[in-house]
Amino acid sequence: MKERFRDYLAAKGCAERTIETYGQAVEGYMEWYQETFGEPLQRLYRANVLDYISYLRTVRKLVNRSVNTKLAALQNLNDYLIESGAQTEKVLSKQDYLKVQTSYASPSTINRDQVEAFRQRVLEGSGKRNYAIVTVMAYAGLRISECLALSPEDVSLPAREITVRSGKGGKTRVVFIGDKVVNAVKEYLTECPNDGRPYLFVSRRGGPLSREQVNRICNDYSDIITPHALRHFYCSSAIEAGFSISEVANQAGHSNIHTTLLYTNPTREKMKEKANLL
């Protein structure tokens, strides 16, 4: 069932990250079901799912947002089981999701000085390719999956544009880039010119890079900077630089403008400074 469910998600057009997250969540539920009832999962029962929610909250002590991610996976599993004829009734809906307090603080947790110091450490210790990768994420705002999926033809340095063809939800967008990105990619291309390869950023063997390899770059040169933190930094910096909300939403590929609006809020550190003024 696990592999067929993943195939179902892929056929729906779900992103690789979503497939992996939902796949792991469903595997976790199946393991819990097996341990609890002593038999493999064949279908979903609402009573069982409600017990599982209680288990996640009281035993696993997961926050509501994490529980909701698992519920979203089970809701997709429910749809798959109905489509495959294994059951007929829906046992989950959006109304079952737990309430999550909306964060007021900006998601950005790193500042420009930290990003610049990090980029320099990567350049000196890891070379031009990795320097270009972290620069694209920090100053073009690409998701790690979008960055690794770029082909040489997707990047036009003379036009200062990057075409993202593998955006979230399968959407394509054009991202406009500045000198930092242009210079970093140009320097990388001097030692790794376009020779017809399918990917812009390639491994030493000429194949595609993995998410794990990029995460390792961040871990090797920073205790706080991650690919996702670099994306947050981009959105926050773009707002501060005078980009409009709609411009940042378009550049970052946000499907919901409320996501972009979070970056107009003060950072956690700024809010703590204000708390001291009370």
Q: Give the tens place of pLDDT for each residue, 247-264.
A: 999 999 998 888 888 888
Tell me, what's the pLDDT at 106?
Answer: 73
For residue 197, indicate whether it is catalytic: no
Catalytic residue among 70, 119, 231, 232: 231
Every domain of the chain and the residues it spans:
2-96, 112-273
For residue 263, indicate whether it is catalytic: yes
Tell me, what's the pLDDT at 171?
Answer: 83
Would you identify the CATH topology of the domain 2-96?
DNA polymerase; domain 1 (1.10.150)
Q: Kindly give, in sequence order, each residue whose CB lies less than 8 Å from that of residue 84, ignoring residues fewer than 6 positions away.
A: 4, 8
For residue 228, indicate whether it is catalytic: yes
Tell me, what's the pLDDT at 20?
Answer: 92
Tell me, what's the pLDDT at 132?
Answer: 97
Mean pLDDT calculated for residue range 193-222: 88
Read off the pLDDT band of 16 (50, 70, 90): confident
User: Tell me: domain 112-273, CATH 1.10.443.10, correct?
Assistant: yes
Read off the pLDDT band of 133 (50, 70, 90): very high
Whether 100 has a pLDDT exceeding 80, the answer reads no
Whole-model pTM? 0.71
Catalytic residue among 8, 168, 221, 232: 168
112-273: same fold as 2-96?
no
For residue 143, indicate whether it is catalytic: yes
Radius of gyration for the chain, computed over Cα atoms and rounded to the nearest angstrom: 22
For residue 129, indicate whether it is catalytic: no
Whether 103 has a pLDDT exceeding 70, the answer reads no
Mean pLDDT calculated for residue range 30-53: 95
For residue 231, indicate whether it is catalytic: yes
Task: Report whether 71 contacts 92 (CB < 8 A).
Answer: yes
